[in-house]
Structures are given as C-alpha cells and as structure tokens.
Amino acid sequence: MSDGNGGILKAVDLHKVYELGKDNLVHALRGASLTVRRGEMLAIMGPSGSGKSTIMHIMGCLDRPDRGEVWLDGHRVDNLKSGALNQVRSRDIGFIFQGFNLIPTFTATENVALAGEYAGLARRQAKAAAVKALRDIGLGDRLDHKPSELSGGQQQRVAIARALVNGPHIVLGDEPTGDLDTATSQEIIEMMRQINTDTGTSFVLVTHNPDVADACDRKVCMRDGLVTEEEVCT
C-alpha cells in the first residue's frame, strides 16, 4: 500500500459491533476511516459513545475490526496472528491511558523497563533504556520511587516514558490528561508536544479536553461511529 500521502497509521472502512446481550447490538463503528500523518499530533474528539475509544483500540491492535483494514507504516496489521500483533504492540506503538496503569509495587524504572523487556530487550538493556527515558522527561530524581510516592503528573510522565521506551512509530493516548488538574494537564500537554516536535513521533490523543485539541496539529470529530473533519464536536 502506498505511503505517498505521508500516512503512518491508517484505518480504512472500520466496522465494529458489540453484542451486549440478546438482541442488544451496539454498532460502535460504521465505516470509519482515518489517516494519521507522519509526525503529526492529532486529536480525536466527540461525544460519549461516538466510537473514539473503539477506533483507537483497533488502530492500536488491541482489538480487531469486524470489517475494514488497519495499516501501520505501509503494512497491514489488523489481520496479523497473535504473535506478530504482540510485536507490533510492544515495539511499534506506544500507549498512554487515563488511569496511568502503573504496577503499584514497581518503581518508576521497573515500570518503564518492563515494556522494554516485553519488546525483547535483555533486563540490563531494558533498565538502561528506562533510565534514559525517565531522565529525558525530567524524572531522573524519581527513578526508584513507586507510584504511591509520585504525584499524578509524575505518574503520567512515567506512563509516557513507558510508551516511548521502545522508540515507537506512534503513541496513542486515551484521555491522557483526564485524571489531572488543569495546571498539571497543561504541563503534560506541553511535554507531549515537545516530544512530538523533537523526535517526530506521531501522537493520536482521544480527548474531551479542548486544551489538548488546541495543542494538536489537527482535530477530527467522531459521531455515530464515523469520523468527520468538522471543527466543532457536539
């Protein structure tokens, strides 16, 4: 598939139906298509139930579509077998979640290093990569702190370091500032924008926060399982 238009991640005509019970079908995606441009920071907005998280999970290879295709860096990935999908998720895509998803008994370094080991690095290599990633985002003095010893903003920085430790093509964030106060949220937005600018790593952020969307290069809206290019998401 041609990459001539600069797309690093593409969703093509995605359909997804969830069966919540007998005769209770939820059509989460109804033919959604989206191209993430190489090096851009993109916001996905829209009301609850519009399909934002579903399209992110499918584009991130966390779920499979019922119909449609997902392409990453010119290669189709939605039809890969489980082992190959695990490699894509661990090496090529980074994830940031609203609730941080840190292991409470692990230090910051151990949380980040685990992602490196999952991608195939030896333990020593993974630890070195984790330390570098944490220092790069300003947590060099918190390497041995556990999540309970860190503020919410610091925990999200650890989560961002974990997303970046393997040098992914793209980072997907699902409400990455949702659990943070306004000032901390702004710090995290600025940090993600700086990483995007400095490294060229693409970011896709599902968000309800207009400040996050305003910091991005582009915003798309979702409604009724479809992607639109409208400027106002209602």
Please state, in angstroms and rounded to a whole number, the distance separating the CA atoms of residues 170 and 166: 11
pLDDT tens per residue across span 188-215 = 999 999 999 999 999 999 999 899 999 9
User: For position 100, what pLDDT does the model report?
Assistant: 86
- Reduced to 3 states, what is the DSSP secondary structure of residue 80? coil
**How many angstroms separate the first and last alpha carbons of the chain?**
34
Q: Which amino acid is at 205?
A: L
- For 43-63+82-228, the fitting CATH number among 3.40.50.2300, 3.40.50.140, 3.20.20.70, 3.40.50.300 is 3.40.50.300
Average pLDDT over residues 217-222: 94
User: Domain extents for the chain?
Assistant: 43-63+82-228
Beta-bridged to residue 204, according to DSSP, are 42, 172
Query: Are the C-beta atoms of 107 and 163 separated by less than 8 Å?
Result: no
Average pLDDT over residues 36-52: 94
Among the listed residues 183, 188, 147, the one whose alpha carbon sits nearest the alpha carbon of residue 171:
188
User: For position 99, what pLDDT does the model report?
Assistant: 84
Residue whose tokens read 């916001």: 43
User: For position 233, what pLDDT does the model report?
Assistant: 61
User: For position 232, what pLDDT does the model report?
Assistant: 57
> pLDDT: is 20 or 114 the higher one?
114
> pLDDT: is 98 or 79 the higher one?
79
pLDDT tens per residue across span 127-183 = 999 999 999 999 999 999 999 999 999 999 999 999 999 999 999 999 988 888 999
Structure tokens at 178: 């949702």
Length of the chain: 234
